[in-house]
Every structure is written in structure tokens, then in C-alpha cells.
Structure 1
Amino acid sequence: MAFHSSQQIAELAVEAGMKKASMRPAHTLLLGFLGGAFISFGFLLDIRVIANLPQEWGSFSSLLGGAVFPVGLMLIIIAGGELLTGNMMALPIAVLAKRATLKQLGKNWLLVLVSNFIGAIFVAYFFGHIVGLTETGVFLTKTVAIAEAKIDETFFKTLISAIGCNWLVCLGVWLAFGADDIGGKILAIWFPIMAFVAIGFQHVVANMFVIPAAIFAGHFTWGDYLANFVPVFIGNAIGGGVFVALIYWMVHKDSLQTLSNARVSIKKAS
């Protein structure tokens, strides 16, 4: 199973960030809706799998939940979708490589943030609340317990947890760039995403599903959600933008600059 080198992955990440930065706003919104919904499907599957497991299984249930959650990112990477946390790596590395602007980064993040939220809320309300997949018996208990654990953390702990989360999520995206075939991409995505879920790190888009799902069931408030959103957003941005995009750009910036100059020369010559 062939794979790309880290330098080649950096080049592919820059190209992806550049394409995202110049995407039509309508397409960004549509794909962002799908991204939020796909991550929510993964979280919903997680809840439906682990809620009935015996308490004696302990952390093994977290491993099982983590094993099924990655379907969300698999759908985004392979079928197509825009995910805020992944774009927190792709847009910054494109900006650092001077293939996108800060204005484009801000516009993309805002559009994807809004559309991810709409997609997550859609799944939480219609499948979780209307159908009742997160509001009956043990499934309600598990949904509320997960949401409460996320809300109850202090601002600083939540921020640090969010850094760890998107460090792993963006590494999953980074590794997916390293594979050309679907099987390779699935394996590349599965391990880092399974790890962040099993550890219990905080993901801004996943929280757009589970906390509102608990709110629709009559638990917590939108103020609780907002208090969680702020540190998770900041931490996720640091995890993807600093610990993946910035570090790999610093390692590969010379080759990225050479590639960029070569393309400029070709463009001028043509």
C-alpha cells in the first residue's frame, strides 16, 4: 500500500487549503452542512453502540465507541464534506505558504462553522429528538452523561483537551492525504480519530451535536453550550493551526517555497 512522504503530504495540504479558500460560498455551506451531519452520525452511532454496555466493561466501552465514531470523518474525506476542525489545519498551512490569505481563512472558517452547526443541529433534532434516538432509556442517560462531562470541565481544562483533540483529528486528515486509495485513507483516519474519542478530548463540531441533543431533551441550557464552545473552538484552532500546520510548515517551508516559485514561473511563462 503506497503512501506519500511528509513533504508530499505538506504540498497536498497546501493545495487543499488553497482550494478550500477559493471555493464558492454556496458550495462551502452545502459541504459544511454535510460535514456537521456526518460527524453527528458518527457520534450518534457511538452512543447507540456503547449505551447498553455493562458498566463493568469500563474503559473498553470507550474503545468500542471510538472504533465506530471515525465513520464521520471517513464520509467527509471520501464522500466529500467541509469540517471546521480539519480546515483549522488546511487553511493555516495554505496561508503560511502564501497560497491563501487571512481574509480567505476567516471567511472559510465562518462559513464552515455556521454550516457545521446547522448540520449537527439537524441530526440532533430530527434523529435524536424527533425520532428519539438520544432520548429513550439508556441512550438518554448516556447522551446527558457525555454532555455533562464536557460542560463541567473548567475553561482551561476544556481548552487543553481541545488542543489534544484537534492535534489528533488534523493528524488523521494529514495521514489521509498520504494515501491514494480508499483503504489507505480509511486506515489513516481510523486510528487518530479512535484515539481522540477513546481519550475523551473535546471536539467543537462533535459538541455541536451532543450538547444540543441533551438540551433538546430538557437538560442544560444554550448558555452552557456557549461556555463550552468558546474554549473548545480556541483549543481546536491551536491544535490544528499550531501543532500540525505551523510545525510541518516550519519543517517543509523551503520545499514549499521552491514549489510555489516554480509554479509562479510556469504561470508567467505560459
Structure 2
Amino acid sequence: MLGRVYLGNLVGAMAMLGLVMAAKLYQLDGGEWGMHAMIVAKGKLGYDWSQAFALGILCNFLVCLATWMTFTSKDSIGKSLLVILPVAMFVSSGFEHSIANMFMVPLGLAIKAVSDPAFYIAHGHLASDFSQLTFYNFIVHNLIPVTLGNIFGGGILVGLGYWSIDRKKPHEKALDQTLNTQRR
């Protein structure tokens, strides 16, 4: 199931990437939009493996917090507001999320692929400034450690934390079953 969700998100990110590139959004503001996207993508490849892993853990702590917080509200507006705060914090803090990176880094790679030397020079850069922005570096130095960090942070730490709080001893489960049967 996790594999299907991951693959589905990848397909969605690539569809969005295709639309953004077809719309030539990278040319907005004289290409500033595209250059900024490349700089962000390049920055995501600047972490060592353990740092990317840790940033992935921190990110999914907040994603899980956003999810759990929605259970405290009954209306859609409340749920929306409760999601905004943790997500805004992970974005503004520079934490890493594998699904977001499935769009952002390939966007930088796509812009790099269609850009000529004049594009870089017009924005005060050289093509060589983005030499580390490669598909290999994306997979090895970002997507793998960030994905593992997201899984560890959300699935292991948060999941096991809630499990340990909510788990019941066998005699408590038997008592609950007895009480539920008596209520019927």
C-alpha cells in the first residue's frame, strides 16, 4: 500500500511538473521564477545524508501533528486552519518532505534542461553553478534519505508513540469488551 501511495504521488508530481513546464512558468518575471526554483532545488541537494534524514524526520513530525490536530475539529474551516500551522512551519523551517521534493527538484532539473547559457548569465549565474543539480544526486542525496526520514519520523516515532499511549493491557481489553457487550 505504501508503495502505491508513493508511486501515485510521483505520478501526480510529474503531471504537475509537465503542466508547469508546458505553461512555461519558469519564464515568469523575466525568468526570475525559474531561477529561484533552480536555486531551491539546488539547495535541497546540499545536505549530507544524515542531515537530509533528520530534516525528513522533523518534517513528518509536523505532518503527523497536522493530521492528528484535524481530529480535534468537527468543521472543515477548523480542520483547514489546524493543518496550515504545522505545514507552514515545516515549509518555513526548511524541513524536507519526499513528496514535495518529487516536484521541486525535478522542476529545477527540467528548467536546467531547457535553459541556455544566456538564461544563467541574465540572472548572475553560470550553468556550472548548478552542476550538482542532477537526477543521481536527487535520488541518492535527497529522495532516499528524506523518504526514510519521513517514514521513520511519522511511521515509527509518531506511530509507536501513539501506539504506546493507547495500547491496553489484555485485562483492560477484556473489560472493555464486557462493558460494550453489556451496553448493547
User: What is the TM-score normalised by the length of structure 1?
Assistant: 0.54
Shift of 1:259: 6.7
Q: Secondary structure at the match of 2:74?
A: coil
Shift of 1:146: 0.9
- Specify which of 43, 51, 55 is matched with residue 157 of structure 1: 51
Separation in structure 1 between the aligned mates of residue 52 and residue 174 of structure 2, nearest angstrom: 38
- Specify which of 247, 251, 259 is matched with residue 161 of structure 2: 247
Question: Residue 148 of structure 2 corresponds to which residue in structure 1?
Answer: 234
Shift of 1:253: 1.0
Shift of 1:242: 2.6
The amino acid that maps onto 2:33 is F
The amino acid that maps onto 1:111 is R
Matched, 1:133 2:25: yes
Question: Residue 193 of structure 1 corresponds to which residue in structure 2?
Answer: 87
Identity %: 29
Shift of 1:145: 1.0
Q: Secondary structure at the match of 2:95?
A: coil
Q: Secondary structure at the match of 1:174?
A: helix
Query: What is the alpha-carbon root mean square deviation over aligned residues?
Result: 2.6
The amino acid that maps onto 1:254 is K
Greater relative CO, 1 or 2 (CA 8 Å, sep 6+): 2
Q: Secondary structure at the match of 1:218?
A: helix
Q: Secondary structure at the match of 1:142?
A: helix
Question: Residue 74 of structure 1 corresponds to which residue in structure 2?
Answer: none
- Specify which of 60, 63, 70 is matched with residue 169 of structure 1: 63
Question: Residue 146 of structure 1 corresponds to which residue in structure 2?
Answer: 40
Separation in structure 1 between the aligned mates of residue 174 and residue 13 of structure 2, nearest angstrom: 37
Shift of 1:266: 7.5
Separation in structure 1 between the aligned mates of residue 75 and residue 174 of structure 2, nearest angstrom: 26
The amino acid that maps onto 1:152 is G
Q: How does 1:89-128 map to 2 (within 5 A)?
A: 108-126=1-19, 128=20
Separation in structure 2 between the aligned mates of residue 258 and residue 115 of structure 1, nearest angstrom: 40
Shift of 1:134: 3.3
Separation in structure 2 between the aligned mates of residue 222 and residue 114 of structure 1, nearest angstrom: 17
Separation in structure 2 between the aligned mates of residue 260 and residue 249 of structure 1, nearest angstrom: 18
Separation in structure 2 between the aligned mates of residue 111 and residue 247 of structure 1, nearest angstrom: 25
Q: How does 1:23-62 map to 2 (within 5 A)?
A: none
Question: Residue 24 of structure 1 corresponds to which residue in structure 2?
Answer: none
Kindly tell me: are residues 186 and 261 of structure 1, through their superposed partners in 2, closer, same or farther at Cα, counting changes over 3 Å?
farther
| 2:98–2:143 contact (8 Å) kept in structure 1 | yes
Separation in structure 1 between the aligned mates of residue 8 and residue 138 of structure 2, nearest angstrom: 17
Kindly tell me: are residues 260 and 155 of structure 1, through their superposed partners in 2, closer, same or farther at Cα, counting changes over 3 Å?
farther
| 2:66–2:87 contact (8 Å) kept in structure 1 | yes
Deviations 1:97-145, CA, capped at 9 Å, x for gaps: xxxxxxxxxxx1000010100001110121x211012344111111111
| 1:155–1:231 contact (8 Å) kept in structure 2 | yes
Kindly tell me: are residues 187 and 147 of structure 1, through their superposed partners in 2, closer, same or farther at Cα, counting changes over 3 Å?
same
- In structure 2, runs of 5+ residues without a counterpart are 114-132
The amino acid that maps onto 2:76 is I
| 1:135–1:217 contact (8 Å) kept in structure 2 | no
Question: Residue 54 of structure 1 corresponds to which residue in structure 2?
Answer: none
Count of aligned residue pairs for this structure pair: 159
Kindly tell me: are residues 260 and 236 of structure 1, through their superposed partners in 2, closer, same or farther at Cα, counting changes over 3 Å?
farther
